[in-house]
């Protein structure tokens, strides 16, 4: 395997290259926790049921062998081979197994039976590790306070196959580094895994967005050559003075056509979207900074703290000051 320093250098160059667009800005504001939960060495027969969780996206990367995935609500089981990765954005219950119809045991029961403590490699069955199924599994826990059409409209699963072309090649190095780090568990592993997990999720969403041809949702809006200009202009300077007329001009559309298309794609009005995004940013500032309410109001596009407070309370049923006391 390439050296860790070479892989991280390549990774960061690619993150920088893809990180300056609207999609990356939205994803970068998720403030999720990349919570790793196991690296495996499974030997047949095996089947594990992973429970449903709210506000969680999961991933499973196959570093060796093969794995069947059965997702609740998805009719057909999916076969992953070495080098493949699946992301399950909405935390749906699913089964990982060595056969498409093998009855599972719960993940907690599997941990208990194998006396897995949460560190090192999670093992099921007996056998030479060179012949088992090796997975790197993790999840991203979103804040319950983060609401955005992008997350709402993500599919039930996103899969990238090992042979999916040159655009996927740089992420293979990231996945190899993740697998190596998860297995070795050296000092700093948790922090590295968290960062790599975030990058993997963001890039998987980007791959998915480039491949779909949807007529509804945030990705569809970004793929509209006119509407995307307005979204890009807004997100690059969301605290500026924005009106429907200005957003329409940025999108090279009439006001009425812009408003109609925006609502059809995103299911909210343009100014509702503006307010919602500003309030998302404001909540992060209230939680993560010591800025005064006056400063936060200005930074998210309001001329005064009272105007900001009124908009905040209308959306969240409490004032910014009350919210800050609750979360800090």
Cβ atoms of 232 and 26 closer than 8 Å: no
The total of other beta-carbon atoms located within 10 Å of residue 284's CB is: 17
Please name which of 40, 57, 246 lies closest in space to residue 141, comparing C-alpha atoms.
57
228 vs 247, 267, 273, 304, CA distance in Å? 10, 16, 14, 30
275 vs 169, 217, 283, 312, 320, CA distance in Å? 39, 18, 12, 9, 14
69 phi/psi in degrees, rounded to 5: -125, 125
**pLDDT tens digit sequence for 119-170:** 778 999 988 888 889 998 888 777 666 778 888 888 999 999 887 765 666 6
The pLDDT tens digits along the chain (328 residues) read 444 444 444 444 443 333 347 877 777 676 666 566 778 999 999 999 999 988 888 999 999 999 999 999 999 999 999 999 999 999 899 999 999 999 999 999 999 999 998 777 899 998 888 888 999 888 877 766 677 888 888 899 999 988 776 566 667 777 777 777 777 766 777 777 777 777 788 788 878 877 877 778 888 898 888 999 999 999 999 999 999 999 999 999 999 999 999 999 999 999 999 999 999 899 989 988 999 999 999 999 999 999 999 999 999 999 999 999 998 7
Contacts of 298 (CB under 8 A, 6+ apart): 239
Q: What predicted TM-score, i.e. pTM, was given to this entire model?
A: 0.78
User: Virtual CA dihedral for 168, 172, 178, 179, nearest 10 degrees?
Assistant: 130
47 phi/psi in degrees, rounded to 5: -165, 125
């Amino acid at each position: 395997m390439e050296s860790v320093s070479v892989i991280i250098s390549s990774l960061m160059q690619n993150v920088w290259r893809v990180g300056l667009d609207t999609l990356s800005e939205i994803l970068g504001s998720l403030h999720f926790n990349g919570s790793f939960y196991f690296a495996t060495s499974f030997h047949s027969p095996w089947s594990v049921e992973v429970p449903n969780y709210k506000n969680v996206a999961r991933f499973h990367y196959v570093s060796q062998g093969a794995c069947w995935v059965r997702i609740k609500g998805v009719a057909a089981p999916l076969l992953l081979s070495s080098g493949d990765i699946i992301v399950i954005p909405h935390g749906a219950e699913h089964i990982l197994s060595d056969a498409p119809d093998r009855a599972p045991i719960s993940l907690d029961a599997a941990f208990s039976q194998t006396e897995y403590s949460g560190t090192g490699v999670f093992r099921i069955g007996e056998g030479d590790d060179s012949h088992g199924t090796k997975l790197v599994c993790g999840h991203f826990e979103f804040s319950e306070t983060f609401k955005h059409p992008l997350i709402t409209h993500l599919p039930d699963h996103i899969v990238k196959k090992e042979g999916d072309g040159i655009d996927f090649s740089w992420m293979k190095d990231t996945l190899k580094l993740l697998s190596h780090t998860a297995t070795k568990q050296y000092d700093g592993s948790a922090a590295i895994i968290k960062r790599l997990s975030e990058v993997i999720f963001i890039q998987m969403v980007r791959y998915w967005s480039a491949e779909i041809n949807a007529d509804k949702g945030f990705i569809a809006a970004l793929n509209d050559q006119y509407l995307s200009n307005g979204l890009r202009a807004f997100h690059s300077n969301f605290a500026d003075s924005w009106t429907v007329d200005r957003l329409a001009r940025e999108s090279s559309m009439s006001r009425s056509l812009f408003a109609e298309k925006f609502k059809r794609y995103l299911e909210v009005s343009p100014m509702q979207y503006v307010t919602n995004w500003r309030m998302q940013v404001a909540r992060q500032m209230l939680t993560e900074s010591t800025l005064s309410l006056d400063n936060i109001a200005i930074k998210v596009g309001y001329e005064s703290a009272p105007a900001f407070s009124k908009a905040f309370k209308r959306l969240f049923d409490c004032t910014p000051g009350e919210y800050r006391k609750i979360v800090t």
